[in-house]
Structure 1
Amino acid sequence: MKTLNRLLAAAAFISAIVLPVAAQAEQETTYANPIDIDYRYNFEQMTDGISYRTGADPAVVVFKGQYYLFETLADGYWRSPDLIHWNFVTPSRWPFDSIVAPATLVDDDQLIIMPASMRPQALLSSRDPASGQLDFYTRRTQSLPGAAYDGQEPKSGEIPSGPWDPGLFKDDDGKVYLYWDSSNIYPIYGIELDPRKKLAYIGKPKPLFALDPEHHGWERFGQDNSGGLPDGTPIKPFVEGAWMNKVNGRYYLQYGAPGTEYNAYANGTYVSSSPLGPFTYAAYNPVAYKPGGFVEGAGHGSTFEDLHGNYWNTGTPWIGYNWTFERRIALFPAKFYDDGQMAVSTRFGDFPHYMPTDKVSDPDSLFTGWMLLSYRKPVVASSTLGDFAADRVTDENPRTFWVAAQNTPGQTLTLDLGRVDTLRAVQVDFADYKSGRYGDAPDIYTAFDLQSSLDGATWTPLASTGDERRDRPNAYFELPKPVKARYVRYVHGHVGAAHLAISDLRVFGSANGSPPAAPSDVTAVRDADSRNARIAWKPVKGAVGYNVRWGIRPDRLNLTWQLFAQDDDAEFGGRQHGHALNLRALDVGQTYYIAVEAFNESGVSTLSRIVRLAVGGQQ
């Protein structure tokens, strides 16, 4: 720390020796979550002076060889040729109140967009969404059969207003179906639509399934599936975000639960041989679950097949500092096994992953092996506002952040990795602190440089936003080649917010050592409430953290909870980080298999002994 202070005082950012600019990667092959798009500022709380960027409820669809991303309150959408580079498309028309939780449907040569709604509404469509040209598919949909009027409490025999959180699906026979609802009272509904009559309703809505938190531990609301608010107030969980895929003759009706507000937001699925059921709960649920790490939460998204035949599941990670629904978007590789099991890999789900250019059989193989080098490392800032200290940018918590005393060019953060490491990628995650912005504007963009140094005196350009004028709240840079460095420095150029605030400066690569040993003495014991279990293991020397992995088969430990060895995470009154986990995501009557792996800055251990967690509670 003294070395960094002397460096900052003697050289600052501008007087140090800086070598010529290195070439940026010509073709990135990796990505990291949250995905690097220009998230938009929300306007809903502008009269209360609450300002934040957000993204949620992502629907990704493939249309004419391109990927299109629609999400909540964006005033437009994104297009990508490769799932890495996303360009915002400003549409020719868009609702004044914007769009929430949109559904998409590809019908022949047009793309149809259905917003969530409590009343009849217009639907949009385009035959050329790359251009932004949108037309009215219909100026007004029918009233939802049997529904209460415009958000009113349903009377006897009525269903809730809607369709809210819609999901559209076109079957192989050309028939179209709608699935919807977001409620902690009512179920997910489904109904057939008539594509010959502008998606008119056919018949009456059919209730398909509801949550069962008494038997499904992961469906309990709250932090770590606690069942309620941090103060102990019990809350019934929410089912929402319906999405349908048909794979190998099976219909997978997916849903988000138990609520977007906390880390346990997940996706599950019911399965059927018919588009309107009956549906059977999948014993391997949840399919997408990411309660630990920097990105927390994986619920309410979409599942799609890419141009190479690989499946992906999108989700909505939670931030929640400025507002309950301050969120981002994540992309996780997925798979459907031949026996019908659906799985989504969130293992190291916020570390860099390869973007495949052909079909892969194992989603876990897309993890690059580039480890987090910046966790809890010392940082010095050129200035600090109040208590928003620089050490917050290496704590892997998106709800804590550094704020500079002034939002001016030349502000710096200097990170000391403690030794010369091999750098492969950097992610700079910005925060919003009294940002004062409520919509897009020409001055809302991100500009900065990243520099590296072996000795803290001579600096080499590492990465830069360059001349592009785009907002990048979660800016990710894959380096064109490995770089040896001990120090990494952020040099500020511009953000459109009132304050310069950065939640995390995340550096990935290798410490060039050996991975840790595999955890030993792993135990798993179920509580009297069999939805809960205590997983423990012997601490591993030199481990930065652990992945607790589990599943319903010993060869398919598809679910992961990432823990940091030194993090007790007192944010919600203390949690189970360290070398034990209180797992509250189990289903009653289901046997599980559990193992633990350790990781450090050089790699990942082999897997521990796999422990069988029987229905009766003992391993």
Structure 2
Amino acid sequence: MTIRLFANPLDLPYRFQHVTLAWRKHHYREAADPSVVRFQGRYLLFASMSGGFWHSTDLHDWRFTATPDLPVHDYAPDVREIDGQLVVCASRRGRPCDFYRTADPLAGSWEVIPGEVAFWDPNLFQDDDGRVYLYEGCSANRPIRGVELDRHTLRRIGEPVDLIAGNPDEHGWETPAEDYDAARIDRGLVMRMLFGRRPFIEGAWMVKHDGRYHLQYAAPATQYNGYADGTYLGASPLGPFTYVPQSPFSAKPGGFITGAGHGSTFTDEHGNWWHAATMRISRHHDFERRLGLFPAGFDDDGVFFCNQEFADYPLLLPDGPADPWSLTGHQMLLSAGAPVTASSADPGHPAGLAVTEDVRTWWRAATTHAGEWVTVELPAGSVTHTLQVNTIEDGPDHPAPPPIPAQRGLLGSRILVPSDVPAPFRLEGSADGEDWTLLRDGTRSHEFVVLDPPRPLRYVRVTGGRHPLGTAFAISGLRVFGLGSGQPPAAAEPTVNGAVVSWPAVPGADGYNVRYGLAPDKLYHCWQVSVPSLTLRSLNAGHRYWVAVDTFNASGVTRGTPFGIEETT
């Protein structure tokens, strides 16, 4: 079996956004709310604010096609196959949302089907009997709704039905706060007055499996580390639906980059399940986001899950049927907390922030000159297999890129969406710190590099070029993966006090994976932490959970033994 590698966030040319509100300017890259389908032997990936779509024949090599005839400035584009044709729609308030249909998306010729009503976060679904349904909703005040559509005209048949509403008192993971901590809810005065503690319920996606309807949805809001996707289960497309207590099935609250909500679920050509989702940075703007792709599947009881252990480390992409639990954890991080030197550093962004495993912090050079660099020293005896260079544009005075035609939005905002802005850099490796070998001339903001064959590097250096926007070179993650020469750490010895799981720090451990679920053999949730404690506020009330704490370092993983905790309230 030929196996390829990829890493999250996906290595794509994320488009640069310039947003001017009445009181503040924002500059950031964005792609979010991915809809992925397989159509005519090709995977199509649509995402918010991307100006088009990506397509691939193998889920590995993606090419971009611009779609100026589609509503490229409308959020959460949905794509589905209906009666052998591709149908696209997107979010819009204030005027009806149209549908766009084609049999050949690469040719760029789209039939416009006028819409009846405005909607937000749409998802189309065609059942086995040919009937078509629309699910939509993105609000803290009203539920996700569903309605049947005429399969030819896409006009509504009957009235919409309320399907999913938020319930953070019962579903801990719906709490709209960092780490699901209600004490940390702070949306600003206006947001608190409007929404209080209510989560946003959004991003519907329907999947039918073994005759049952899995209506997926996102909560609590895109800017939090706990942004995730849950499921309700029904016997018909419009319900009634019952909450699935294993929710959320897709969540990544810890690690280098967090968030795994508002996504889409699909199968590849080999029948393997995948879930594409939104990952957050949310530093320059709440909507500063990226895309992730995760192995997924259904267990013997029909429960849908994602494998999100080490989900921002290199993942395997098989060319045949595969166990989703076999596709992660084959390479370990060599660069976490390693010694770092740099040509210069802004006082607020020291060199060490390049290796702290947090995409929301970064090293930034002290000048905007070309040639600024940062170097990481790897453990002796380690072997490098892959690298990921994560760059970010930062600086209060950097100019906006040249825009394409703009769109006016809420509160008098003006949204300008240019084409991609490359961020040039040079990636090199060395065994002794003196003789350097070029590994990649890169331009993308999450460039992923595979070394074939792997190499025993001791130093890795990234040197920035002159950025087109005049910003200083900045790295949020210089990440080097492979295998260390030592031994995995000892096992953790956890104890539980209420919802707090803690354990003595394990010598030699770089971090810990806290896995949990509703049975010892169904630990489908994974929360990666760097400290020996975690408060599990994401649990569903009325259920007994099982927990295991794994330890890991550059040389491997030591699995923990599952243990039960008291029923949640």
- 1:312 and 1:332 in contact (8 A); partners too: yes
Offset, 1:441: 6.1
Which of 391, 401, 423 is equivalent to 1:430? 391
- 1:41 and 1:437 in contact (8 A); partners too: no
Does 2:541 align with 1:584? no
Higher percent of residues as strand = 2
Match of 1:603 in 2: 556
Which of 398, 401, 404 is equivalent to 2:359? 398
Query: Which deviates the most, 40-49 or 60-69?
Result: 40-49
Match of 1:63 in 2: 39
Structure 1 residues 46 and 377: alpha-carbon distance in aligned structure 2, compared to 1, 3 A threshold: farther
1:496-546 deviations in whole A, cap 9, x for unaligned?
A: 3321222110111111221112212x22333xxxxxx11112322210000
Give % identity: 41
- 1:443 and 1:496 in contact (8 A); partners too: no
Which of 116, 131, 142 is equivalent to 2:116? 142
Match of 2:482 in 1: 509
User: Aligned partners of 1:410 and 1:480: how far apart in 2?
Assistant: 27
Which of 112, 116, 123 is equivalent to 2:87? 112
Does 2:449 align with 1:477? yes
Structure 1 residues 52 and 28: alpha-carbon distance in aligned structure 2, compared to 1, 3 A threshold: farther
Structure 2 residue matching 1:77: 3-state secondary structure: strand
Offset, 1:616: 6.7
- 1:229 and 1:235 in contact (8 A); partners too: no
Offset, 1:384: 2.6
Offset, 1:444: 2.2
Match of 1:210 in 2: 165
TM-score under structure 1 length normalisation: 0.84
- 2:177 and 2:186 in contact (8 A); partners too: no
- 2:15 and 2:418 in contact (8 A); partners too: no
User: Aligned partners of 2:430 and 2:511: how far apart in 1?
Assistant: 27
- 1:221 and 1:228 in contact (8 A); partners too: no
Which of 49, 62, 66 is equivalent to 1:86? 62
Alignment of structure 1 residues 19-38 onto 2, 5 Å: 29-38=4-13
- 1:371 and 1:603 in contact (8 A); partners too: yes
Structure 2 residue matching 1:415: 3-state secondary structure: strand
Offset, 1:28: 7.9
Structure 1 residues 54 and 28: alpha-carbon distance in aligned structure 2, compared to 1, 3 A threshold: farther
Match of 1:6 in 2: none
- 1:547 and 1:563 in contact (8 A); partners too: yes
Gaps of 5+ in 1: 1-26, 144-161, 466-470, 527-532, 565-577
Which of 511, 520, 523 is equivalent to 1:554? 520
Which of 90, 106, 120 is equivalent to 1:130? 106
Match of 1:366 in 2: 327
Match of 2:310 in 1: 348
Alignment of structure 1 residues 113-512 onto 2, 5 Å: 113-118=88-93, 119-131=95-107, 133-138=108-113, 140-143=114-117, 162-197=118-153, 199-227=154-182, 229=184, 235-361=197-323, 363-434=324-395, 435-438=398-401, 439=403, 444-465=421-442, 471-499=443-471, 500-512=473-485
Match of 1:10 in 2: none
- How large is the RMSD of aligned CA atoms in angstroms? 2.0
Offset, 1:554: 0.8
Structure 1 residue matching 2:326: 3-state secondary structure: helix
Structure 1 residue matching 2:335: 3-state secondary structure: coil
Query: Which deviates the most, 230-239 or 472-481?
Result: 230-239
- 1:447 and 1:494 in contact (8 A); partners too: yes
User: Aligned partners of 2:389 and 2:207: how far apart in 1?
Assistant: 34
Matched residue type, 2:555: S
User: Aligned partners of 1:616 and 1:368: how far apart in 2?
Assistant: 30
Match of 1:13 in 2: none
Matched residue type, 1:523: T
Offset, 1:494: 4.8
1:313-361 deviations in whole A, cap 9, x for unaligned?
A: 1111111111111111111111112321010111101000001111113
- 2:509 and 2:553 in contact (8 A); partners too: yes
Offset, 1:492: 2.4
Offset, 1:385: 3.3
Structure 1 residues 228 and 62: alpha-carbon distance in aligned structure 2, compared to 1, 3 A threshold: farther
1:362-397 deviations in whole A, cap 9, x for unaligned?
A: x12101521111111122122333422211110111
User: Aligned partners of 1:389 and 1:128: how far apart in 2?
Assistant: 50
Structure 2 residue matching 1:419: 3-state secondary structure: coil
- 1:122 and 1:136 in contact (8 A); partners too: no
Structure 1 residues 164 and 485: alpha-carbon distance in aligned structure 2, compared to 1, 3 A threshold: same
Structure 1 residues 92 and 275: alpha-carbon distance in aligned structure 2, compared to 1, 3 A threshold: same
1:393-445 deviations in whole A, cap 9, x for unaligned?
A: 10111121122233443322111124242001110111121443355767822
Aligned residues: 542
Structure 1 residues 510 and 221: alpha-carbon distance in aligned structure 2, compared to 1, 3 A threshold: same
User: Aligned partners of 1:228 and 1:59: how far apart in 2?
Assistant: 34
Offset, 1:33: 0.4
Gaps of 5+ in 2: 404-416
- 1:166 and 1:181 in contact (8 A); partners too: yes
- 2:19 and 2:27 in contact (8 A); partners too: no
Structure 1 residues 72 and 229: alpha-carbon distance in aligned structure 2, compared to 1, 3 A threshold: farther
TM-score under structure 2 length normalisation: 0.91
User: Aligned partners of 1:436 and 1:64: how far apart in 2?
Assistant: 42
